[in-house]
Amino acid sequence: MTDSLTFPTSLVDIAGIAVADLAREFGTPTFVYDAAMIRRRLADLAAFDHVRYAQKACSNLAVLDLLRRGGALVDTVSAFEVRRALAAGYPPDGTPPPIVYTADIFDAESLRLVVERGIHANCGSPDMIDQYGRLAPNREITLRINPGFGHGHSRKTNTGGEHSKHGIWHAQLGDCLARASRYGLRVTGLHMHIGSGADLAHLALVSGAMEKAALEAGPGIGSISAGGGLPTPYRDGETCVDVDAYFALWDAARKRLEDALAHKVSLEVEPGRYLVAESGYLVTELRAIKQQGGNRFYLVDAGFNNLARPILYGAYHPMAIVPADGDCSRPEDDVIVGGPLCESGDIFTQEEGGSVAARRLPRAAVGELLVIGCAGAYGSVMGSNYNSKPMAAEVLVADGRARQIRRRQTFDELVAGESIPD
Ligand code: LLP
């Protein structure tokens, strides 16, 4: 599957529903997810024995439920992500483990929950092995290994190599196996995740590193996980990664391991972005147009409190105007698209390092809608209440129906945990 992205600069509907109707019913800013796209991306990965959804990309309960019903397992990185998985109907334990906790630390709450509920632990540091082993000896664990190299769409999303805090350093595998056995913990699998938005050339190196590590760990290894990181298209014309080629690489490594270990080895993949990025649209309203010297600014009602990827990584997201009159052939202008926040970096069209970039968009008027595309992964989940902006609403379009899956946060909810001492 190597679809290339086509994102028009004028958009009338999302998954068959008029954007204007979505905005009228749910307000703006609102994240809208297309369930069919999520199902399609899950189906692309069917060759793997297990697809484990990295819910950090978009952890709304309805999205978790959709993926659970589609057969995906789930990855968690915090106590509350574990609780989300449970709330979405995942059972705490089973074979393969429906929920895995993958992290580099346990905080007190996650350790308690994982131990008490029998959630599978994938340990990313030697200390995690000790802390878990003391409380839950003789269980099965897996180890997340840092293979000594990594790659991501940004330095901030590279999770391998010696500059990364992630995973157990590959040379410490032997020490960690010995540590685990001191508590009677059985290491039944290995996991590697080298970064998010990595390219296929780097991802391809991981299967070789995995093979080496699994041979070192020996016959106890019954499962390997390729981690996540599969890139998705953000710019027009960019293609999806060739998942069949990716699977073939891993399958070959798995088969060699099966021969060497003389037993079956299951193969898992753990994507976040791949499953949900393209499904998501952030629907905003254009609230002001300003000419600042030579630059024309479109200011919309969503900011980096809703979608932080541009300010964090200089990430590019496709954008479209929703012409109120349905005219999709308006003249185009170079504009800079920003939000309402009281901070200069609140610009959606910026490059890494913060320099603003112009985007060519059809001419629009205040009151019209502007849609930011490919916003399903690391959009809503990285939202904040900066400037006391409420968390946006979320809507899922499935089978021709749009349903709200998170209501816009209210003022009372925003200040619910706060109090003024007397
Ligand atoms: N597994 C592990 C252990 C991870 O740390 C991650 C992502 C994934 C899987 C899923 O990676 P994906 O398939 O989504 O690339 N906020 C950044 C991405 C941070 C990714 C963190 N870990 C962004 O907006 O690009």
Question: Which ligand 1 atom is at minimum distance from the Cα of 274?
Answer: 13
Residues of the chain below pLDDT 70: 1-2
pTM reported for the whole predicted model: 0.98
* d(CA 191, ligand 1 centre) in Å: 14
Contact between residue 66 and residue 396 where contact means Cβ atoms under 8 Å apart: yes
Q: Is 346 exposed, middle or buried (0-12, 13-18, 19+ CB in 10 A)?
A: buried
Ligand 1 atom nearest the C-alpha of 198 is 15
pLDDT for 198 equals 85
**Is there an atom of ligand 1 within 6 Å of 228 CB?**
yes
Of 287, 240, 369, 353, nearest in space to 361 by CA? 369
Ligand 1 in reach of 379 Cβ (< 6 A): no
Mutate to test the pocket of ligand 1, among 168, 196, 313 (most ligand atoms within 8 A of CB): 196
- Note the pLDDT tens digit of each residue in 273-282: 999 999 999 9
Please report the pLDDT score of residue 1 as a whole number. 46
Q: Is the peptide bond before 91 cis (omega within 30 degrees of 0)?
A: no
Q: How far is the CA of 154 from the centre of ligand 1 (A)?
A: 11
Q: What is the largest CA-CA distance in the chain?
A: 70
Residues 6 or more apart whose Cβ sits within 8 Å of residue 156:
312, 313
| Ligand 1 and 57: CB distance under 6 A | yes
- Bridge partners of 405, per DSSP, are none
Q: Which residues are tagged catalytic? A: 342
| Alpha carbons 96 and 68: distance in angstroms, whole number | 14
Q: Is 281 in the pocket of ligand 1 (CB under 6 A)?
A: no
Kindly state if the Cβ of 52 falls inside 6 Å of ligand 1.
Answer: no
The answer to whether 303 touches 297, Cβ cutoff 8 Å, is: no
Ligand 1 neighbourhood includes 310 CB (under 6 angstroms): no
The per-residue pLDDT for 2 is 60
Nearest in space to 364 (alpha carbons), one of 387, 331, 386: 331
